[in-house]
Amino acid sequence: MGDDAGVTVEKKSPGVWQVGVDPVAARPRRRNAPRLPPDERRTQLLDAALRVVEGDGLAQLTMQAVAREAGVAKPVLYALYPTAPELVAALLHREHARGMAQMLRAMPEDLRGTDPDEEFVTAALAFLQAVAAVPGRWRLILMHADGAPADYRSLLAVAREDLTARYLELLRTGFAIRGGPEGADLELIGTAMVGFMEVLGRMVLTDPQRFPPERLESTVRSLLRTLPPARERG
């Protein structure tokens, strides 16, 4: 009887029957998204949410938009993220963790036996290339004012302080190796350089065609020229 699904038979008059098709029953059923383990489904849904953010910004991140982007029915999304704020929080914290891991990987662990200036340039380019590769992630980190909750902004502030402290530690080691301006205030220099890199990252995000990471390398090197090593001082 499987071939008769959607077929209707209606008695019109004695001995006269009309055979027809029920348009609702005959409509092809929507295929459900394949079942995935919860961890894989979370990854799928958060990846879809990130794509929505890349295209429309965090303020436009709706449950409907994410379900559509992921190709799943909304109940599938609600089963793991019952509310939009929970989805947003999960996305923000995942991308923050991944972004901080990228930053730490870009920073050298030990400057001994190296050229500190080249290490800085290499780390700066690695950071800018990471921004260009996953712009949605870094928009949430570097340009997070469009709808990010207060607790996330606090998380970013703490992470920035930690990264700045790590950079200052490397800067002190670098100055000890290469020398630097007499009486230099390393805390001010380090904080300014972190801010400088954030500005370059935003340039990559807002106009990637005009400001690709490779173009900004000379700008990074020009910053270092404002901090002449000891051997260049008269």
Q: Which fold has domain 96-229?
A: Tetracycline Repressor; domain 2 (1.10.357)
Statement: the pTM of the whole predicted model exceeds 0.85? no
DSSP one-letter code for 114 = S
Instruction: Sketch the domain layout of the chain as residue ranges.
Output: 34-82, 96-229
The length of the chain in residues reads 234
Q: What is 34-82's CATH superfamily?
A: Homeodomain-like (1.10.10.60)
Tell me: pLDDT of 90 over 90: yes
Nearest CA among 91, 37, 42 for reference residue 70:
42
**What pLDDT is stored for residue 223 in this prediction?**
87
Range with the poorest average pLDDT among 30-39, 58-67, 130-139:
30-39
For 17, phi then psi, to 5°, come to -125, 145
Q: Model confidence over 157-205: pLDDT tens digits?
A: 899 899 899 889 988 888 888 888 888 899 999 999 999 999 999 999 9
**What pLDDT is stored for residue 218 in this prediction?**
92
Question: Mean pLDDT for the chain?
Answer: 83
